[in-house]
Amino acid sequence: MDEELAEWLYLFNRGQDNQSFRRFGAHRVGSDDWQFLVWAPHAQAVAVVGEFSGWQPVPLSKLGATGCWRGEHQGVAGQLYKIQMTTRTGEIVEKIDPYAFAFEKKPGTAARLADLPRRVWRDGAWLAGRGAHRSYDRPLNIYEVHLGSFKRHADGSYLTYLEAIDEILPYVKKLGYTHLELMPLMEHLLDASWGYQLMGYFAPTSRFGPPQDFLAFIDAAHQLGLGVIMDWVPGHFIRNTDTLAQFDGTPTFEYADPHRADNVRWGTWNFDLGKAQVQSFLLSSAMFWLDWCHLDGLRVDAVSNMLYMDYDAGKAHDRNRFGGRENLEGTDFLKRLNTEVFAAHPDVLMIAEESSDYPKVSAPIIAGGLGFNYKWSMGWMNDTLKYFSTDPYARQAHIDQLTFSWVYMQNEQFILPFSHDEVVHGKKSLMHKMPGDRYNQFANLRTMAVWQMTFPGKKLLFMGSEWGQFLEWRDWSQLEWVDLKDPLNAKMQTFTTALNHLYQGTPALWQKDFQADGIQITIGDRSDVIVYERRGKAGACMIVVLNLLPEQRDAFIVPVPHAGTYEIVLNTESARFGGTWTHLQRILRTRGQPERGQPDSVEVVLPAMGALLIKPLTERIRREDSLEVTQND
């Protein structure tokens, strides 16, 4: 074993190698020569079997006390192979290559001989711009996509990565989103897992094409001005016995304690996050997607499961060595993950899908936090959906489901999500959750969208919700694109597009998301109307008025921050958006009378179950971003 390899393996075994994908797995060392490196510390023997050997074992040599095995063999790129283990008990089993860059299509699990995917990238301008601006004081509006069910061919087959370039990217750009978030595209077997039960931590799934085509999709998104985030699952992995489970015949990637290893909630195995080699494996996986695939961020799935020993079913009494609930290895790993990622890529996004009240998830590690950029605000999401799903006249007593979020809105750097989890498994689509007849469902949906877009925090919406798809999401078929033949659905899509572009063009809605002076609540003590100001830098201001009852309010007085002329830039009840207002009400002049502690006020007609966005005319948005807003007769 040469000195360089010995140093690499030393770092790997200490959990200090975040580039282990460069060495482990199969790597070309000649035109048709491949070197294999496998970590299997308790195996009696290790071999590779594949098409290049007629599926006969090619033995690998043990590298001293490193726990690793190495060997070479000739083969042609694209040929299938597996790792053959002889366990302590003498059993011979076949396993996946954990470091493979490509796999055969499901239901097979064999890896393919493949080089580290490379591309002549054309996204230099995007990457330079990404590094020039902090995300916190920029617009961040994310469109969440499940690639397998966005669109399909007439025969039910998937779009390819290359087809998705034309089918998805221009659509999302036109809608006014800044980023895509892809549900996991790492290799996985079970479609029904939506990609969250992984086996290939270094391989884009073969469902949609080869790895090079995945890179082309990312490159095309960047050239179009769209960022790409992907969900990533470092907490647990698929249970199938020919994947990572009991990899060398003993617990290798999972905890040795079967109780801790078993993830009851999801039917998977938990990674042993305290094991050095597992840390090297997972850190390297994160760096692979960010380094080699140019992703703009990772949304880390199921963070609560990594933070708490008692999170899973049947583990209510599990405690750490100090008697606490916290999974000490999990918290240490997450801090380590964010430290390493930001050391290499300070301009990417690390987002925690975390459902508890664990403190400082998005605070810097030096300040006692976990070091993520953002945390999904699950409390805001659950309360908002519960409120808007209730009949308007029954929910008046529950206005606190909206206003309580003001108490904690500055506790973290939040993303406000309406994600796939909320529109599946009998929870109904966002549209179907809304009360009343079809017209009132859309009115509620538009008002809820304004609440999301104007509340402090970044934004996320799951595909199909932009036009109010009625059926809940199904992973086995494409979205209900036929809906857009219905005028109300088409107008809802127009509304979402207009709101998104207004958001992007209004600094007051994103410059101070995480600063206390970024919002001023002026009417927050009523059960039917909420009014607040969003504030940006240099005096930028947007006034938000929400009428939460299906009753029009004439001569409603809105507090404003100074005397002058104001403009209504959005009315959710515009006929253009599916409402009934057909006559223009645009310019407002102050009354010369203070209101609710504010220096002045304006008088408006407040649409039933609707929202108004009002802006000082001196800070008028660009004409191309201005929205035609109408008033009822």
**200-251: pLDDT as tens digits:** 999 999 999 999 999 999 999 999 999 999 999 999 999 999 999 999 999 9
DSSP at 102: -
Which range marks the domain in which residue 21 is found? 3-112
Are 224 and 313 in a shared domain? yes
pLDDT at 633: 35
Pair (443, 337) in one structural domain:
yes
User: Domain for residue 198, yes or no?
Assistant: no
Which residues of the chain are modeled with pLDDT < 50? 619-633
- Write down the pLDDT at residue 285: 98
Report the C-alpha gap between 285 and 278 in whole angstroms.
Answer: 11
Q: Do 94 and 215 have their domain in common?
A: no
pLDDT of residue 583: 79
In a domain, 202, yes or no: no
Q: Which of 612, 464, 543 is nearest to 150 (CA)?
A: 464
Q: Is 464 left (phi over 0), alpha (psi -120 to 50) or beta?
A: left
Catalytic residue among 187, 329, 353, 466: 353
CATH number of the domain enclosing 21: 2.60.40.10
Query: Is residue 454 a part of any domain in this protein?
Result: yes
Task: Look at residues 484, 509, 534 and tell me which one is the last residue of a structural domain.
Answer: 509
Q: Return the closest-CA partner of residue 501 out of 376, 621, 612.
A: 621
530, part of any domain: yes
Same domain, 504 and 585: no
Instruction: Give yes or no: residues 366 and 494 share one domain.
Output: yes
Predicted pLDDT at 43: 98
Q: Establish whether 301 is a catalytic residue.
A: yes
Position 584 scores a pLDDT of 62
| Together in a domain, 459 and 539 | no
Are residues 339 and 437 part of one domain? yes
Residue 315 forms part of a structural domain: yes
Are 185 and 101 in a shared domain? no
Does a structural domain hold residue 246? no
Catalytic pick among 17, 219, 254, 301: 301
85 and 165 share one domain: no
The 8 Å CB, 24+ separation contacts for 426-432 are 426/472, 427/472, 428/472, 429/464, 429/465, 429/468, 429/469, 429/470, 429/471, 429/472, 429/473, 430/385, 430/465, 430/468, 431/465, 431/468, 431/469, 431/470, 432/470, 432/471, 432/472
Residues 80 and 147 in one domain: no
For residues 105 and 144, membership in a common domain is answered with no
**Could you confirm whether 329 is annotated as catalytic?**
no
Q: Report the domain count for the chain.
A: 3
Kindly report the CATH number assigned to the domain that includes residue 398.
Answer: 3.20.20.80
Helix (H, G, I), strand (E, B) or coil at 378: helix
CA-based nearest residue to 418, from 496, 363, 531: 496
Residue identified by tokens 């034309």 is 166
Statement to judge: residues 402 and 433 lie in one domain? yes
Residue 381 included in any domain: yes
The CATH number of whichever domain residue 580 belongs to comes to 2.60.40.1180
- Looking at the chain, the whole-number percentage of residues with pLDDT higher than 90 is 94
Domain boundary among 509, 533, 556: 509
Measured between alpha carbons, how far is 371 from 361 in angstroms, rounded to an integer?
7
Last residue of a domain, one of 481, 509, 537: 509
494: in domain: yes
